[in-house]
Amino acid sequence: MWKEIFKEGNRSKISMKIGLIDLKKQHTPLENEIKVAFDRVLKSGMFILGDEVSSFETEIASYTNCKYGVGVASGTDALLLSLKAIGIERNDEVITTPFTFTATAEVVALLGARPVFCDIDPKTYNINPDEIETKITSKTKAILPVHLYGQSADMDLILQIAESHNLKVIEDAAQSIGGEYRRKKLGSLGTAGCISFFPTKNLSCLGDGGMVLTNDEEIRDRLQRLRLHGAREKYRYPTLGYNNRLDEIQAAFLRIKLKYLDGWNERRKEIAKAYDDSIADYVQTPYVEPHNLHTYHQYSIRTKKRDELQKYLKDNGVATAIHYPIPLHLQPAYSYLGYKEGDFKESESASKEILSLPIYPELTDEEVDYVTETILKFFKSH
């Protein structure tokens, strides 16, 4: 972050440069711990599925009140292997949201199954459970809700629908580690929960990494085989699988950072409240269901002046992002599904108005104030 003095009228002002995230700020205080972990793994000579991975799996399972954790190579792999583990096959259908990162639907399609989209709740941006039942057919095998931006979907209703139709529920908890639904940790509620440790996530490694959570021992066993080429034991392959394992070095780094996760998430909540208190009269701020604990992986506001505001913030040194500018049903990769503009109006409307502001634990109060003041200046002049 740098500052420069500039003139506006007769007054001197401070201009800041604020990124959407600053991993250097996060890692600098942890540098010694990270180096110790690196040396420990290096000296062990064990780099694949060793003590670091198994220990981290146990620690994550304990943190989320889940029986099992299975470390995999990415959040995308967590989704892919989970769907494979519950038996998703060609021509099956999986109900999910079009307002999410592509990986959610991509893994369904890669297995030869069909992503069936369901529109979102305009308040939370999560899948609207009131519409799920209308999408169920004889081919439906699972529901794949996304806890978008760090807030839980309506899991009571989703699980109730799933149970009544004998469907599995795979939670896409990639953005919501540490979040809760009615005091239950996200990722622990469905058949399996999928976490991403991509560098921008609330709990991140120094590269790619992921985890599947489950309370089902049989699913755990399948996942362990699937991530290791389908092997039950060395050179014995009863089924086909993948090479999708969490590395020892990444697990070692994640074990360090897990200790700080709750504190980091708490700081995100403080920043979110500061944003809420300052700009709620001018933009639609995130709505949080009272029974949810939001992780604020993203703080996404909504305004019809989104594009103009984004440019103004950029011109004044504040980075933003749009999560997500084009719903999946309108992406060329999913054109074969036959959806068209107008099919999911809430998702399409949100995609034109959503804007994510900087939110990460290392943001200073001064920087938060600068973001809000810049937003207020925009609306007072436009």
Identity of the amino acid at 84? K
| Predicted pLDDT at 65 | 97
In sequence order, which residues have a C-beta less than 8 Å from that of residue 178 and are 6 or more positions away? 185, 186, 202, 203, 261, 262, 265, 293, 295
In sequence order, which residues have a C-beta less than 8 Å from that of residue 102 and are 6 or more positions away? 328, 331, 333
Instruction: Show the DSSP H helices in 175-240 as ranges.
Output: 217-226
Question: What angle, rounded to 10 degrees, do the helices at 217-226 and 75-85 form?
Answer: 120
Closest Cα to residue 190, out of 210, 161, 174, 213? 213
Q: Which domains does the chain have, with CATH numbers?
A: 3-19+261-381 (3.90.1150.10), 28-258 (3.40.640.10)
Tell me the sheet residues that pair with 172.
146, 194
Closest Cα to residue 349, out of 122, 132, 128, 127? 122
| Predicted pLDDT at 29 | 97
Q: Per-block average pLDDT, block size 10, for the chain (382 residues)?
A: 44 74 96 97 96 98 98 98 98 98 98 98 98 97 98 98 98 98 98 98 97 98 97 91 97 98 98 98 98 98 98 98 98 98 98 98 98 98 92
Token pair 């979907």: residue: 153
- Can you spell out the DSSP letters for 313-348? HHHTTB--B-S-SS-GGGSGGGGGG---TTSSHHHH
| Predicted pLDDT at 4 | 53
Instruction: Show the DSSP H helices in 86-203 as ranges.
Output: 103-110, 129-132, 155-164
| Predicted pLDDT at 14 | 62
Instruction: For residue 382, count CB atoms less than 10 angstroms from its CB and return exposed for 0-12, middle for 13-18, buried for 19 or more.
Output: exposed
In the DSSP assignment, the letter for residue 286 is: P
In the DSSP assignment, the letter for residue 98 is: S
Identity of the amino acid at 115? P
Tokens representing 193?
Answer: 């929960």
| Predicted pLDDT at 232 | 85
Using CA atoms, how far apart are residues 118 and 185, in angstroms rounded to an integer? 24
Instruction: Show the DSSP H helices in the chain as ranges.
Output: 23-27, 31-44, 51-63, 75-85, 103-110, 129-132, 155-164, 217-226, 248-258, 261-279, 306-315, 345-353, 365-381
- pTM for this predicted structure: 0.95
